Chain A
Amino acid sequence: MSTPLPTKAIPAKLGVGPHGLAALDYSILQQCMHCGMCLPSCPTYLETKRERHSPRGRIALMRAIADGEYAVTREFGEEMYYCLGCLACTTACPAGVNYAELFETARADIEQHRVLDTPARRGIRWFALRLVFTRPRLLKVLGRLLWLYQRSGVQTLLRKIGLFSLLPRRLRELEKQTPEVRTQFSDSLVKEVEAPYGPKRHRVAVLTGCVQDILFSEINHATVEVLRENGCEVFTPRNQYCCGSLHAHNGDPEAAKDLARRQIEMISPESVDAIITNAGGCGSHLKHYDTLLADDPRYAARARIWSNKVHDIHEWLVKISFRKPKEAPQQDQVITYHESCHLCHGQKIVSQPREILRSLPGMTLRECAQSSHCCGSAGIYNLTQPATAASLQAQKVARIRETGAHVVATSNPGCHLQLQIGLRDADDSMIEVSQPVLLLARAYAEERRHRTMKR
């Protein structure tokens, strides 16, 4: 089943013919009228107040490249990897600039031109993008090894002897951030097909995600449970592929396309009412398979069906008028909500998670200032730009703490982790990080417990 993707080498020299920014539909670049309305929403601009670190500046650079006045240089490469890809600019932009497309094209161009290339970077990219994140089994084996390493006491031991202090700072930070791997992945928590509790009204497929599955498999379990509670028969394919968002956002569109085709094969979109995703970043990408595969004669039509059926879990629950829980998941708790960028800016899903949180008995939602500002996680940004990521993380944690909430809910594994680490490093904080579906599933479970107790 899981034949590896062709890891065909990208030609060392540029192919003939137009490509990248130069070949992009020019009107997408022209759409930006440099009014500057996006600047106050851009985290990187706010950090430095330097125009090139703003959406308007980045688009100006791209346009200069398309106009042949500037080349894809190392500076440009660094600039585009300094951009978080958080898409806050697209929400702010009155002119409707499609920054998501510009961003992906620019990063692909940078990879094609190899302006950031070093042997180490090439190695890491090949290992991550082409090897690990295209082979679900390998990813899980690695996850399992990481778990063993953490559980066997080796990690604690090494941490104790201070061996890590020998590592360079960057790696040391990384080691501190290795999250706790789950003991069980989704495949062992949910069956391939789960029946609804009660009459069946819909048939849906659930995507388990890569990082989500290794670090937060209980959220996948919770997703399946809330769907079953709401009349859905749930199909969760085994050994799922990565959705390809990692590849699309990191300049590897070819691998992203291959993975998209595999996803479509894995879940025939025709066979379900909805395809459910619970990670903001994946969802944002999954909804764009139609444009990603628009030129693929074999898959274009199915990709359109696919894109129409992909729903974020919160979006779907509100769409099918989810049942309000009768019991509290936790008593007398104040909860606040941190919006994952790709959910609110990428998918424009803003009210639905809040509606779910407000439906929880015993919990009060208190808004946090700038809830839609990036937390600095942004894919692997906290590894590639540790200083900026840390600054954004600290700002986010401070704003969460200002609310006095006991729980902060979010809806993307990257944000979840970033908040956990940020709150942990803020020491005295007892704020729990959770997700709306997790709380909802807990409330439903509480209900069931009460019912059985009464009997």
Chain B
Amino acid sequence: MSQPAADIQYTQDEMMTVTAARQLADGAVCFVGIGLPSAACNLARELHAPNLVLIYESGTVGTKPRVLPLSIGDGELAETAEVVIPLPEIFTHYLQAGRVDLGFLGAAQIDRFGNLNSTVIGAYDDPKVRLPGAGGAPEIATHANSVLVIMRMSPKSFVSELGFRTSSGFLGGRGERAARGYPGRGPQAVITDFGVLRPHPDSDELVLTDIYPGVDPAAAVAACGWPLQVAAQLQLLAPPTATELAQLRALNERTRVAHATPVKIHLASNSSNAV
């Protein structure tokens, strides 16, 4: 990009994705979900973390997709993986056995202790909104050494009390998770469209610790459904660099083109191996 850094325009999604990517250390073994987490992980892999080991729950280990998958099991993930294994082994031999450094989660709702709801809004047996459900999240939240959450903040999504807990964060806070002997440390950062929340070391309550350029902390407080605490030493996050934006936009453009390519199937079967 030819523009000077100060003039670069970027979207909230781009700021969130770049912020998430910057959290990922080279060499980490990362359990990836689709959407923004997948974009962040692959952006990090193209920039500062070429040795990031990406595991998708479909069974693809050490995958290096050139375009982002729409689903958790696109062929691109299998073609560029070090190994493709049956799904039960992902959850037993890799996740439950403690081989995952970092899990990436989103949800419909989060509470002040990082517990997540991706199951229902309203009563379970008579829901107002039926959400997709648990998937891999409960075990990722339990077993990954640390968890990153990425969610847009609003009073409906950042709630003082969850109607349904799908995945455990710090439970009731004040060390309850650690006392219950959970193998993983729980959510270490929640990346929002205002900035980053991190757990307070004593209470486990999520606190606004980092803020994006040009964002008023009061706006973040107003968007949160519980009385959000703001850290005394609020860190100002750097805007995306020209390099980060160029890589992310190229990745998204390659993805858009790939997903729009029409599929054609040759129905005339022959008797030779087609692969």
A, B bound: no
